[in-house]
Amino acid sequence: MTATFAFEGFDIPVDLAILTGGGEETWAGISAAHLAAYARYCPLRAGHDVLEVGCGVGRDAIPLTGVLGPGGSYLGVDVSGPSIAWCQGHITGRHANFTFAHLNIRSEFYNPQGALSAPEITIPAPTASIDVIILQSVFTHMFEPDITHFLREFRRVLRKDGRVFASFFVLGKESVQLSGATPDVLKFIHAYGKGCRINDPGYPEAAVGYTPAALRRMVRRGGFSLDQPLHPGSWCGRHGVDDGQDIAILKPSRLPVLGRAPQRADLREAPTP
């Protein structure tokens, strides 16, 4: 029998919670922190149409049922088929305006048997149908070609006044200095392409960081610009901030999206042994 724990009227499978990130002890706290961050930087309101990428087993979706109300909608997508199946069977059954879709993308950690690469994916939402897109700790496991592809898909599905809430590891001067001086935090000492560094060359996708210049490049190529200054996180040992990872709020750029998206072949630098 599958072990579960209670969360806002649902019995969450422990194995799928761990796959989403965190177990019973941290589940409610992380969910509350996520919703507080949305309220600070990119408020979600009743009637909004929301897309969550990397929804897992519904940690944010469940409390958002009370935020968006029956007049809004939510689409959650994830590479974990079992997590999506659970959400479809439990959350959609109670809230028909909350739907979920499996993106069968190959992922070293989360879906190693996936049939598709990220650039083959089309987000299952109509053009200009979404008010807010949220991603928590998704781009922190992805490389530039895949991030750029997803941003271009976000540009397609967002309404013109829509926003994207996305977390990153941004390797600025302060964060690099802090991480180097702070024990037991991510270090990102291994180069992995232009402006990209990884924490573990044995598992490149485990944690991926970008310089501010690389972040700006991806945002621009994806058809976006920063809506607000970056909100720094505590991942590097920074104190006095509310967020674990660095938060970027993006808005569609007024400029056209030009040129091809970068390909994986553009990752010229091999990881440092």
pLDDT value at residue 273: 30
pLDDT tens digit string along 119-144?
A: 999 999 999 999 999 999 999 999 99
| Residue ranges covered by each domain of the chain | 30-266
Asked if residue 261 has pLDDT above 70, the reply is no
DSSP string, the chain: ---EEEETTEEEEHHHHHHHH--HHHHHHHHHHHHHHHHHHS---TT-EEEEES-TTTTTHHHHHHHHTTTSEEEEEES-HHHHHHHHHHHHHH-TTEEEEE--B-BTTTBTT-SB-GGG---SS-TT-EEEEEESSSGGG--HHHHHHHHHHHHHHEEEEEEEEEEE-B--HHHHHHHHHSTTS----EE-STTEEES-TTSGGGSEEE-HHHHHHHHHHTTEEESS--B--STTS--S-S-SSEEEEEEE-SSPP-SPPP-GGG--SPPP-
* Arch. (CATH architecture) of 30-266: 3-Layer(aba) Sandwich (3.40)
pLDDT value at residue 267: 45
pLDDT tens digit string along 235-248?
A: 999 999 999 999 99
pTM across the whole model? 0.92
Q: What is the mean pLDDT of the segment spanning 41-46?
A: 98
Q: What is the mean pLDDT of the segment spanning 51-64?
A: 98
pLDDT tens digit string along 156-186?
A: 999 999 999 999 999 999 999 999 999 999 9
Count CB neighbours of 240 within 10 A.
Answer: 6
pLDDT tens digit string along 59-116?
A: 999 999 999 999 999 999 999 999 999 999 999 999 999 999 999 998 877 888 888 9
Alpha-carbon Rg of the chain, whole angstroms? 18
- CA angle 96/85/168 to nearest 5° reads 90
pLDDT value at residue 263: 56
